[in-house]
Structure 1
Amino acid sequence: MLLIYTHKLTPRLRYAFKHVFTRVLKIPIEFTTRVEEFIAHGPLKMTYTKQPLQNEFFVKSHELLFDHGVGDVEINVQQWDQVACFFSTNSDKSILPYDIFAATFYLLSRYEEYIPHVKDEHGRYPVNESLAFKHKFLEQPVIDIWAYKLLGILQERFPELNVKQTPFQFTPVISVPLVFGYRKVGILRTISGTFGDLFRFRLRKVLLRYAVLFGIKKDPYDTFDDFINLHLTYKVKAIYFFLFAKYATYDKNISVYSNVFRSLIKSVSDYAITSLLVSYEAFSNIDVLKKERKRLSDLIHRPVVRVMQHYNKLDFPDTYRNLIDAEVNEDYTMGYPNTIGFRAGTCTPFYFYDIGAEMPTPLKINPVVTTDFALKEIGNTQQIIDKITRIGEVIEAVNGNFVFKLHNTTLIENEWKGWREIYIKTLQRFGSKK
């Protein structure tokens, strides 16, 4: 057990240290503010304060972990052995040249998203406002990299320190905003879709639509058997997020009362974790959120404890406060919809810290590193495969969790050319098949 001395023990400090040591490195830690207890402890200890007590392992602290609320924080991003870092310690006595714990808190808490900013058309935080994007470290899980650099330094100082590392994980998450493209969508949508295709001279789509409606062909959006078979083959545990809400401007799935729809969800839930894609309306209406969650839970006869936000809508801190009030345990929205990267600087699941209340919460956040939409614009099939491989290898190096968001439409070959091959190659590389 590593004992950490600090002059003031705060919720922020506990939160940052526990993520680095307990969640990333799996090193048990305890805290003390008593000098005599620290001195009496064995060799495995460190101080986090302004000045060292003796000649111990010392990291000079930044004020951020002893502060409250949100204010102006001066940040100067520099390089630390080829990885971006900030909050320089400016101390010859500090073992680390940067306060990685304060930097960890800044990124994990999404401190920058509390600061006033211009949102996009869906009320989302734009990626180009982020520190990671501006300083070109968005595609690095810097917190995990810092943690492993710290581990190396600790093991040089304390050779007796044994660490049991967690294995790398690959987790596909399948977003299902529209379960069928043509089937069971209703007469009005069928008519309007037909005329829209005719107007644009998309005759193949017209023929496909009616081949599906007359039962001659399978609906192209119904790719669930394909996904399930692939995941079983490569021993991958996927999570499916179904939009199970009433029809609206941005929520266009078929009726929640459709027996075909309900049967399909129950069928998928027999093979994989099935959860809720929170509707656009429920984003700001907790009563609707609770209703959608209960409706899905009643259908699959299991508690729905995980969610993903439709359109990747995320507004700090209200979105996560609503999820906590609705008794949701886990969220899979922490990522950017059209950009590859680590929005919170980590590939390790963490817990939401509410800066307004100055306390950690029980809501587990699972960072999503990329989406099919973000990758689609890269180039040809091989370039996309190469990019996915590089992302996965970065996460493997720090024993993280590679959460890859796809859609049920991703395997439609005529719309997503080459993506079946891309996904199979990804599963072959990062799945568990022996």
Structure 2
Amino acid sequence: MLLVYSHRITPRIRYIFKHILTRTLLIPVSFTSKVEDFVAHNGLKLSYTKTALGSEFFIKSNDLLFEQGVNDLEINVQKWDDVPCFFATNINSSLPFDIFAASFYLITRYEEYLPHVKDTHGRFTAEQSLAFKYKFLEKPVIDIWSYKFLSLLKERFPDYTYKTRKYNYISTIDIDNAYAYKHKSFIRGFGGFFMDVFRFKLRDVWNRTAVNLNLKKDPFNTFNELLSFKKEFNIKTIFFFSIGDYTTFDTNVSASKNKYKLLIKNVQDYALVGLHPSYFTMNNASMLKKEKGRLENITNTTIKKSRQHYLRFNLPETYQQLIDLEIDEEYSMGYASNVGFRASTCTPFYFYDLDFEIQTPLKVFPFALMDTTLNDYLKLTPKQSLGKIRDLRNEIKAVNGTFITLFHNESLSDYLRWKGWKRLYESMLKIATA
């Protein structure tokens, strides 16, 4: 166990020290504000305060972990060897930067509480983030800092038996459109057919007709392939099903359709299932509650996992709604426009609510990349995407983190803009599980 001394033990200190020491480095931690207890402790220990007590492992503290609320902070990003970092300390500190305060700033998404301009979907954009501006978005810097800290800790305390966590991979699949053509209402089917004819999309007209006449399989019905990959590579796979009412942004098959209900139940027999709350649930708690209940009625289980459609969430409001509905795991932490680490970590973490200054029971699982980001935003080919995937996986593997990817069932269809992406998904699994 490692004992941390500080002149005042705050909720922020408990939160971030436990994340870095216990969840990332697997070192149990306890806290004291009594100098005599700290001096008497014979094991691992460090002081986190303004001035060292003696010659102990000392980290000069930034004020952030002793404050409450949100303030407009001055951030001066510098280099720690070859890694960007901020909140510099002084020569008396065992670390050149207060990585605990810096990690707290990034992992709580402190900057998303500050005034900012949202995109057309009401989202905080990658371009406004500190990580994007200083070019460390594609590095899990909190984990990298943690391991640099660990190496210095080992020098000071070489006799302690340190544990090492294992790298792991999670494949997540969003179901925005379970089917391209099947099981849609007559009006939607006829409207789609008419628009294809009007735009002279003759191949789409043929495919739509062939699927509805059962001459061809619906191109988006890739669930057997996804489950087959899950079994072949022995990977944890989570399917997030959209079951909201039809809107401009929610165009899935109706949740009242028996075929869709059977699909969800069939997938549930072989993989984990979560909720994919619809577009407008970001600010609508009653709609979110209705959709959660709807999915629970289909699966006959309590739904504990969730990811927002279009990755639309406001902090802390959306997460507070999920907590009220007893959602345990949240998977929206990432950007639509850029790959990388929105919270600067590849380690699942508990959401810290800056409004109430508490660690909540909601565990956030940050993903590293999304198929539509690679294809639609970055305009990468499958081959180019594989290189980007390999780079991100290597960053995560280096710190024994959790590699989470986001794909859609339709991206395995090899249909239209997704030509070649089924092969990419398989290649990605080979890289991720190597």
TM-score (norm 2): 0.98
1:431 is aligned to: 433
1:88 is aligned to: 88
Secondary structure (helix, strand or coil) at the match of 1:357 reads: coil
1:203 is aligned to: 202
Q: Answer yes or no: is 1:357 the counterpart of 2:359.
A: no
Structure 1 residue 109 displacement after superposition: 0.7
1:117 is aligned to: 116
Post-superposition CA distance 1:297-345 (Å, at most 9, x none): 1211221100000010011110101101111111000000121010001
Q: Which runs of 4+ in 1 moved over 4 A?
A: none
Secondary structure (helix, strand or coil) at the match of 1:363 reads: strand
Structure 1 residue 282 displacement after superposition: 2.2
Post-superposition CA distance 1:374-396 (Å, at most 9, x none): 22235333221111111101100
Post-superposition CA distance 1:215-270 (Å, at most 9, x none): 11111111101111011101111100000111122111111110100000000000
Extract unaligned runs of 5+ from structure 2: none
Structure 1 residue 352 displacement after superposition: 0.6
Bigger shift: 346-355 or 293-302? 293-302
1:35-114 map, 5 Å: 35-89=35-89, 91-114=90-113
Contact persistence 1:276–1:296 (CA under 8 A): yes
Secondary structure (helix, strand or coil) at the match of 2:4 reads: strand
Distance 1:163 1:378, change over 3 A: farther
Task: Give me the whole-angstrom Cα distance separating, in 1, the residues matched to 2:421 and 2:18.
Answer: 39
Tell me which amino acid in the other structure corresponds to 2:143.
Answer: D
Tell me which amino acid in the other structure corresponds to 2:77.
Answer: V
Secondary structure (helix, strand or coil) at the match of 2:151 reads: helix
2:257 is aligned to: 258
Structure 1 residue 151 displacement after superposition: 0.4
Contact persistence 2:126–2:337 (CA under 8 A): no
Contact persistence 1:168–1:400 (CA under 8 A): yes
1:22 is aligned to: 22
Task: Give me the whole-angstrom Cα distance separating, in 1, the residues matched to 2:248 and 2:387.
Answer: 37
TM-score (norm 1): 0.98
2:331 is aligned to: 332
Q: Answer yes or no: is 1:400 the counterpart of 2:366.
A: no
Secondary structure (helix, strand or coil) at the match of 1:173 reads: strand
Task: Give me the whole-angstrom Cα distance separating, in 2, the residues matched to 1:245 and 1:384.
Answer: 31
- Count matched residues: 431
2:11 is aligned to: 11
1:304-323 map, 5 Å: 304-323=303-322
Task: Give me the whole-angstrom Cα distance separating, in 1, the residues matched to 2:357 and 2:380.
Answer: 44
Contact persistence 2:220–2:409 (CA under 8 A): yes
Distance 1:402 1:295, change over 3 A: same
Structure 1 residue 162 displacement after superposition: 2.0
Task: Give me the whole-angstrom Cα distance separating, in 2, the residues matched to 1:138 and 1:115.
Answer: 19
1:384 is aligned to: 385
Secondary structure (helix, strand or coil) at the match of 1:410 reads: helix
1:166-205 map, 5 Å: 166-205=165-204
Post-superposition CA distance 1:96-152 (Å, at most 9, x none): 000000001000110000001111111100111000000000000000000000000
Contact persistence 1:378–1:384 (CA under 8 A): no
Contact persistence 1:338–1:371 (CA under 8 A): no
2:33 is aligned to: 33
Task: Give me the whole-angstrom Cα distance separating, in 2, the residues matched to 1:367 and 1:161.
Answer: 31
Tell me which amino acid in the other structure corresponds to 2:420.
Answer: G
Task: Give me the whole-angstrom Cα distance separating, in 2, the residues matched to 1:254 and 1:417.
Answer: 23
Q: Answer yes or no: is 1:148 the counterpart of 2:150.
A: no
1:278-289 map, 5 Å: 278-289=277-288
Post-superposition CA distance 1:158-198 (Å, at most 9, x none): 00122222211111110001111111111111121112112
Task: Give me the whole-angstrom Cα distance separating, in 2, the residues matched to 1:115 and 1:380.
Answer: 36
Secondary structure (helix, strand or coil) at the match of 2:307 reads: strand
Contact persistence 1:286–1:326 (CA under 8 A): no
Task: Give me the whole-angstrom Cα distance separating, in 2, the residues matched to 1:402 and 1:116.
Answer: 31
Tell me which amino acid in the other structure corresponds to 1:426.
Answer: M
Post-superposition CA distance 1:4-29 (Å, at most 9, x none): 10001000111111111011101001
